[in-house]
Amino acid sequence: MAETFDAVIVGGGAAGLMCALTAGQRGRRVLVIEHANKVGKKILMSGGGRCNFTNTGTTPANYLSANPHFCKSALARYTPWDFIAMVERHRIAYHEKELGQLFCDESSKLIVKMLVDECMAAGVRINTGCSIERIVRGEGDSGFRVHTTQGAVSSASLVVASGGLSIPSMGASGFGYELARGYGHTVLPTRAGLVPLTLSGKHQERLQDLSGVALPVTASCNGRSFSNQLLITHRGVSGPSILQISSYWQPGDDLRLDLLPGRDAMDWLLTQQRERPAAELKTVLGDAMPKRFAQRLCELWLSNKPMKQYNAPELKQLAATLSAWPLVASGTEGYRTAEVTLGGVDTDEVSSSTMMSKRVPGLYFIGEVIDVTGWLGGYNFQWAWASGHAAGVAV
Ligand code: FDA
């Protein structure tokens, strides 16, 4: 006889562990199946090893989805403060870095330990190094029989928490998407998000040797703007502003950088002309951004001369270029370095309150596998916790 569970959860990542501990605390018999050798690998590597585990400013507006309303219910029922309460109960020290982003003072390991301890206290079984061989639905729509490399189990509910495609070396797989398709679900096209952009040809050559230079910018594309640091890399550009805008950018889209963020470029140039008439543009710009970058701008994109020699139309042109400098990206670094996967299981076919499939009773989708993707800054974990909790109270 196969062992019987109330819920089998495929994937021991952020969403799967949250779902497991929530269901376990309700007295449900829960099994987590994780194919990697340990659970929570992405949590461990997140936030530079300190896990940006939530964002206190989380709202549905911080997420991308074909249906922007879908995430509202789960986010409202499990808030950042609910997760913070658990973190505090486990005496994990944390701090706010910027813009509501909460990080562990010590290590992401503490977040994984907290989730696993909660699972153990709730009687959850976790099988690591365990792969799914085949899943068979029970007769009359009653549950699932899950055949794994560690034996077969039966379960009333099957929760897909297998995450997205980013960082395949950490255990990411297309399992959830394939399973969803197999049960007749629509899977919206997936692509890498929160990912560095690549440059090619002359665009790359012009910046490549500035690799390591960082500057504040406002990156804008398709009606979205993010103000934060940009980092020039060997292959292109990265940094928080670029990672954020990458989720809204697709090849061919117009991407602009305001190189004087927070300032009116024309006012600033006029002030510089009045106050430093003999100074050259590259010197003046070098006080507002890294000198090497200012010099490169003046060599390749702007005409350099003493400020007093610019006439009004020229200043206007300078201001226009500096506040909307076109960045011609050729692509992204892809899933190898992306933090998240955009797209995924279509939310139209999933209940927003329970995360249960509208096609297959007892089948649930949570976390990144669904077409809900957060901005950079702790929003993706908050979605994993909230959607995991929503399914955890339902299974
Ligand atoms: P997650 O990927 O966490 O878990 C899925 C699990 O399923 C994995 O353990 C995987 O091995 C397992 N699995 C896959 N296929 C399987 C199969 N067939 N059988 C069994 N198991 C299977 N977010 C944030 O809010 N703050 C941050 O600081 C960061 N930092 C960060 C850094 C880096 C480098 C990355 C790549 C990502 C982040 N993120 C982040 C994003 C965040 O990690 C991500 O959104 C969540 O982990 C998603 O949670 P899930 O549980 O959905 O997937």
Domain boundary among 332, 357, 372: 332
Q: Over the stretch 179-190, which tens digit does the pLDDT of each residue have? A: 999 999 999 999
Residue 141 has pLDDT above 70, yes or no: no
Q: Are residues 43 and 179 in the same domain?
A: yes
For residue 163, the CA-to-ligand 1 centroid distance in Å is 5
Q: Over the stretch 292-306, which tens digit does the pLDDT of each residue have? A: 999 999 999 999 999
CATH of the domain at 375: 3.50.50.60
Q: Are residues 267 and 383 in the same domain?
A: no
Confidence bin at 66 (pLDDT 50/70/90): very high
Q: Are residues 114 and 262 in the same domain?
A: no
Ligand 1 atom with the smallest distance to the CA of 380 is 25
Q: Are residues 345 and 204 in the same domain?
A: no
Ligand 1 atom with the smallest distance to the CA of 15 is 51
Q: Which residues pair with 193 in a beta bridge?
A: 340
DSSP alpha helix (H) spans, the chain = 14-25, 41-45, 72-77, 80-89, 109-121, 175-182, 201-207, 240-246, 265-275, 281-286, 291-300, 312-323, 379-392
Mean pLDDT of the chain: 96
Residue 220 has pLDDT above 90, yes or no: yes
- What pLDDT score does 359 carry? 96
Q: Are residues 379 and 271 in the same domain?
A: no
pTM tops 0.90, yes or no: yes
Confidence bin at 173 (pLDDT 50/70/90): confident
Ligand 1 site, CB within 6 A: 10-16, 33-36, 41-42, 45-47, 51-52, 131-132, 161-163, 166-167, 171, 173, 175, 339-340, 367-368, 378-381, 384
What is the rounded distance in angstroms from the CA atom of residue 14 to the CA atom of residue 386? 10
Q: Are residues 180 and 296 in the same domain?
A: no
For residue 270, the CA-to-ligand 1 centroid distance in Å is 49
Domain boundary among 307, 332, 357: 332
Q: Which residues contact 259 (CB under 8 A, 6 or more apart)?
A: 215, 217, 289, 297, 322, 323, 325
Q: Are residues 64 and 139 in the same domain?
A: yes
Q: Which residues pair with 198 in a beta bridge?
A: 236, 331
Domain that holds residue 30: 3-192+338-392
Q: Are residues 364 and 385 in the same domain?
A: yes
- What pLDDT score does 140 carry? 62
Q: What percent of the chain is modeled with pLDDT above 70?
A: 99
Q: Are residues 186 and 252 in the same domain?
A: no
* Ligand 1 pocket, mutate which of 380, 382, 383 (most atoms under 8 A from CB): 380
What is the rounded distance in angstroms from the CA atom of residue 8 to the CA atom of residue 304? 65
Q: Are residues 57 and 178 in the same domain?
A: yes
Q: Report the chain's C-alpha Rg in angstroms.
A: 24
Q: Are residues 154 and 223 in the same domain?
A: no
**Order of all β-strands in the sheet with 224-232:** 325-326, 255-258, 214-221, 224-232, 236-238, 197-198, 331-332
ipTM above 0.85, yes or no: yes
Q: Are residues 217 and 324 in the same domain?
A: yes
Instruction: Tell me how many domains the chain contains.
Output: 2
Residue 83 has pLDDT above 70, yes or no: yes
For residue 305, the CA-to-ligand 1 centroid distance in Å is 51
Ligand 1 atom with the smallest distance to the CA of 16 is 51
Q: Over the stretch 8-20, which tens digit does the pLDDT of each residue have? A: 999 999 999 999 9
Domain boundary among 288, 310, 332: 332
What is the rounded distance in angstroms from the CA atom of residue 256 to the CA atom of residue 265? 15
CATH of the domain at 205: 2.40.30.10
